[in-house]
Amino acid sequence: MTPSYRGLKMNVYTIRSYQKAIMHGSKFVYQTIPRMLTIWLDAGEDKRACQDDSYKKMTDSISRAFKEAPVYKV
């Protein structure tokens, strides 16, 4: 397990936590969404990371977060 793989896997868990935070309240939405997008976009700059399964999981989590979040929170 390379350090970059562990970093990607940790980013998946971080994005999933931010996704849950968006669903449960709007108090920190202005901090949560930019951080979640920054993690995802930074990982997307690396070609090897984009081809990894962890990046696909991050993308799925982000798309689910925006589809399932109540409208007033996004």
2: left (phi over 0), alpha (psi -120 to 50) or beta: beta
Given the structure tokens 């993690």, which residue do they identify? 39
pTM: 0.82
Q: Please list the pLDDT of the chain residue by residue as tens digits (74 residues).
A: 454 677 899 999 999 999 999 888 878 888 999 999 999 999 999 888 889 899 999 999 999 998 988 876 44
Domain regions of the chain by residue span: 3-67
The Cα 71–Cα 19 span in angstroms is: 14
